[in-house]
Chains A and B, each alone.
Chain A
């Protein structure tokens, strides 16, 4: 059974701080890695995708991938109250997509 593990949280950070979200996965054959954000009662929305080792930056978001350690992370700089949501890590091989159970982030004003 392929697994994607995330700390369920909640992770609480003050407004303006850096939020760090982590994810580990079990399948070394995984090829694509994604971070989704899900607000309560809404469907997931794609924030970042990353495919190769290293960092990928998009605005306030940075995704980091370490395939040797089977580890993916998401950094959110200058966190805002509107970033409060559940963040889902997703891992894909060729034709299957696996989500973690998500980390709930609370950004306090």
Chain B
């Protein structure tokens, strides 16, 4: 059984650019969620996808968007990057969402 994998592991972008982060869910999981974790803080919920539809969203602006594909892999897209977007971005997958999530190792994004 493979776990949750994320790519890339590290990324440096310039303010104003756009970025796409990728996630491959754990086998058998059809629910994926994305989180932003700033240093010293808990993960902040960005959104959740279930069977290719967004079905939950946290307090993040529309420039944070996502996709889930038929094989349940997913993407997080962030447009018009700001310096405050620098953080660890975590992807997590679950079978139902109710039974807790398995996290990937994250993508460290630095915006300069």
- Residues of A participating in the B interface, judged by any CB pair closer than 8 Å: 1, 4, 6, 31-32, 34, 42-46, 49, 88, 90, 92, 94-102
Docked-complex contact B100 and A46, CB < 8 angstroms: yes
Cβ-closest chain A residue relative to B104: A43
Q: Would you give the 0/1 interface string for B66-101, flagging 1 where the beta carbon is closer than 8 Å to chain A?
A: 000000000000000000000000100000011111
Docked-complex contact B105 and A43, CB < 8 angstroms: yes
Q: What residues on B are CB-neighbors of A99 within 8 Å?
A: 35, 42-45
Within the complex, which residue of A34, A42, A43, A101 is in contact with B100, where a contact is CB–CB below 8 Å? Answer: A34
Complexed CA–CA distance, A94 and B97 (Å): 8
Residue B8 at the chain A interface, CB threshold 8 Å: no
A and B contact pairs by CB, cutoff 8 A, 22 listed: A34-B100, A43-B104, A44-B43, A45-B103, A46-B100, A46-B101, A49-B100, A92-B97, A94-B56, A94-B97, A95-B48, A95-B50, A95-B56, A96-B56, A97-B33, A97-B56, A97-B101, A98-B45, A99-B44, A100-B42, A101-B40, A102-B42
Q: What residues on B are CB-neighbors of A4 within 8 Å?
A: 42
Q: What residues on A are CB-neighbors of B42 within 8 Å?
A: 4, 6, 88, 99-102
Q: What residues on B are CB-neighbors of A49 within 8 Å?
A: 99-100
Q: What residues on B are CB-neighbors of A96 within 8 Å?
A: 45, 48, 56-58
Q: What residues on A are CB-neighbors of B56 within 8 Å?
A: 94-97
Complexed CA–CA distance, A94 and B107 (Å): 26
